[in-house]
Chains A and B, each alone.
Chain A
């Protein structure tokens, strides 16, 4: 029996499908039949996949010779560096979400573009051009043409209401 870290994801899929079936079983049949039928089938299939992956057998694996959509990123030349890069980009994404909540989406996106590009070595000029492009796109299309109502932000609630009497 060989249990690899990637098999944890299969276990996660089995648990999600099983939970979906359990929750759906409490609804009336009209709403649940497709989930009960396909979900149960999915649990069986995913469990079979887990068994195939974990049971000992002869394995013939060939590394893909060219890039594919399913090429795992941890097969890079420098896995440690790549893993660190993965944590970094997730940090940036979560940080952007926090920034959006604080200053609003319309301002956070240009700020993110500017700070990310600058952090990794782009010149100030290039950073400014990229940020201005995004800002112009947001203002021109979303604000002026589509008249999007931007979600509220912490700073917006604090200051804009005060100054502009919103």
Chain B
């Protein structure tokens, strides 16, 4: 095993594969930083070229492209409130307020540091878990996945800025928005208004752009100012961000573990890892009153998890041949075209095991390279915060429109974007929490699917499965812990001001 691991590492660090890895990482970071360009669309464009390469070169190139998008898209999330991809939506919640306070460099630096650490932890978990992961993942059936998604929804109360009723109502609205289109179970067209465009449902791209990006650009254009509300970014920031990562090392480790686990579970979707990590940080950290107002921990948690999940997603892709996302499905196609056979055979066949370790090495190296590239770009990129609105607003709105158009390549994407943006804008003005809408939208289809599969397969007997009961206890803890904390806080006798 160690011989295969060493062979894999040596193969990937040879000049030619390393060159392809660097090229892939550059393209991955670039695609991540430009809204609408990265992710599966970019991978689909590059896949035919990669398939013509030598297997080891193709693997290096594709791992570079696929696994670093979440590092690149931190730029837009922090500097423009535009989630560059589904893995960086939660970063907007604290990253953008940090940019407004003139702490963009610190936020970006911390994000890149923890992205690298998270990505390496994901790779190490992939390395260490291959022999033991099979029985663990198999124990997760649809009832456990249903409870896992309910756990995600139960976290909404913690993300609702002291308005849990609004948060839960907004999340339910997000779930209902996610039901638009054809129901695959029954064939019923839901909320389609006889419009073919809606048959495929509303794209997550449109939801995240209209809930976060456009309302923030409207606010910026309306006040005719700049993103940063301070006069300069100061000299420091980058070093402070690196220190933040080590100052909150346990949060980084916890969030990376959450990200890896979410990535491991097939079908849960990689776009919820950052939300889970954010909500879990908000629940478990002390003094969370500044979350959502520019707390660096609100950047560290999602960024640690969204790169770690790539290692987790590769576990199921390589060990079971089950891709957990569109990108992993495309990667699986490429691996098969290289003559590999992802699944249990790949782990047991010594000839293929060498490639598995090459993939792990490429994954770890990609994270280091991507963070290095992004660090080099922090200083010039952070200046965006001081661009006047008449430069930033038209460019970002144009990129947002292009990004929305990429959802279905229809003019109706832009009409839908504007309609949903009006809704997002009113959410902002009426002080409704916006994050729960996106989380409800992401989790809605999974809640519905896993509930239906559980009932169809086990009737009501699924409720008594041990995994379901354990997750039920976790949900109860999630819901009751904030109340217990509030109760304890109320019990502490108030210290008279004079005594202070």
Give A contacts to B, CB under 8 Å: 6, 9-10, 12-13, 16-17, 20, 23-24, 27-28, 30-35, 38-39, 41-42, 45-46, 48-49, 52, 64, 66-70, 72-74, 76, 81-83, 85-86, 88-90, 92-94, 96-97, 100-101, 105, 109-110, 112-113, 116-117, 119-122, 126, 130, 133-134, 137-138, 141-142, 145-146, 148-149, 151
**In the complex, what residues of A have CB within 8 A of residue B92's CB?**
69
B154 at the interface (CB under 8 A from A): no
B183 and A69 within 8 A (CB): no
* Residues of B359-390 whose CB lies within 8 A of A: 388-390
A85 and B222 within 8 A (CB): yes
**In the complex, what residues of B have CB within 8 A of residue A93's CB?**
214, 397, 418, 421
**In the complex, what residues of B have CB within 8 A of residue A117's CB?**
390-391, 394
B294 and A66 within 8 A (CB): yes
A6 and B173 within 8 A (CB): no
Contact A45-B169, Cβ < 8 Å, known A67-B97, A69-B93, A69-B96? yes
B166 and A49 within 8 A (CB): yes
B398 and A112 within 8 A (CB): yes
B390 and A109 within 8 A (CB): no
The stretch that binds A, out of B111-119, B347-355, B425-433, is: B425-433
Q: How far is the CA of A78 from the CA of B83 in the complex (A)?
A: 29
**In the complex, what residues of B have CB within 8 A of residue A20's CB?**
176, 191
**In the complex, what residues of A have CB within 8 A of residue B93's CB?**
69
B410 at the interface (CB under 8 A from A): yes
Contact A6-B391, Cβ < 8 Å, known A17-B173, A39-B172, A142-B402? no
Contact A82-B223, Cβ < 8 Å, known A23-B191, A117-B394? yes
B169 and A42 within 8 A (CB): yes
Contact A109-B401, Cβ < 8 Å, known A69-B292, A97-B414? yes
Closest 9 CB pairs of A and B: A85-B222, A42-B172, A120-B390, A9-B430, A31-B188, A89-B221, A116-B394, A67-B100, A151-B411
B120 at the interface (CB under 8 A from A): no
Chain A residue with the shortest CB-CB distance to B294: A66
B293 at the interface (CB under 8 A from A): yes
B282 at the interface (CB under 8 A from A): no
**In the complex, what residues of A have CB within 8 A of residue B37's CB?**
141
Contact A70-B431, Cβ < 8 Å, known A28-B186, A89-B221, A89-B222? yes
- Tell me the smallest distance from the CB of B395 to a CB of chain A, in Å: 6
B393 and A116 within 8 A (CB): yes
Prevailing SS type, chain A contact patch: helix
**In the complex, what residues of A have CB within 8 A of residue B165's CB?**
45-46, 48-49, 52
Contact A34-B190, Cβ < 8 Å, known A9-B430, A109-B398, A117-B390? no
* Residues of B389-417 whose CB lies within 8 A of A: 389-391, 393-395, 397-399, 401-402, 405, 409-411, 414-415
**In the complex, what residues of B have CB within 8 A of residue A70's CB?**
161, 292, 428, 431, 433-434
B179 and A34 within 8 A (CB): yes
Chain A residue with the shortest CB-CB distance to B31: A141
* Residues of B156-183 whose CB lies within 8 A of A: 161, 163, 165-166, 168-170, 172-173, 175-176, 179, 183
A73 and B390 within 8 A (CB): no
Chain A residue with the shortest CB-CB distance to B290: A66
**In the complex, what residues of A have CB within 8 A of residue B432's CB?**
9, 13
Cross-interface CB contact of A105 among B169, B217, B401, cutoff 8 Å = B401
**In the complex, what residues of A have CB within 8 A of residue B294's CB?**
66-68
Task: Type the 1/0 row for B447-471, where 1 means its CB is closer than 8 Å to any CB of A.
Answer: 1100110000000000000000000
B476 at the interface (CB under 8 A from A): no
B395 and A134 within 8 A (CB): yes
A134 and B390 within 8 A (CB): no
A146 and B391 within 8 A (CB): no
**In the complex, what residues of B have CB within 8 A of residue A35's CB?**
176, 179, 190
B249 at the interface (CB under 8 A from A): no
Contact A112-B394, Cβ < 8 Å, known A6-B431, A34-B451? yes
Cross-interface CB contact of B172 among A38, A68, A74, A126, cutoff 8 Å = A38
B401 and A82 within 8 A (CB): no
A97 and B418 within 8 A (CB): yes
A94 and B101 within 8 A (CB): no
Contact A72-B428, Cβ < 8 Å, known A34-B451, A49-B166? yes
**In the complex, what residues of B have CB within 8 A of residue A86's CB?**
218, 221-222
B292 and A146 within 8 A (CB): no
CB<8 Å pairs between A and B, sample of 5 = A33-B451, A39-B176, A81-B224, A101-B411, A112-B397
- Tell me the smallest distance from the CB of B386 to a CB of chain A, in Å: 15
Q: How far is the CA of A35 from the CA of B433 in the complex (A)?
A: 21
Contact A73-B219, Cβ < 8 Å, known A52-B165, A117-B391, A130-B391? yes
Q: How far is the CA of A17 from the CA of B166 in the complex (A)?
A: 13
B239 at the interface (CB under 8 A from A): no
B232 at the interface (CB under 8 A from A): no
B480 at the interface (CB under 8 A from A): no
Q: How far is the CA of A68 from the CA of B362 in the complex (A)?
A: 38
B169 and A88 within 8 A (CB): no
B41 at the interface (CB under 8 A from A): yes
Task: Type the 1/0 row for B97-132, where 1 means its CB is closer than 8 Å to any CB of A.
Answer: 100110000000000000000000000000000000
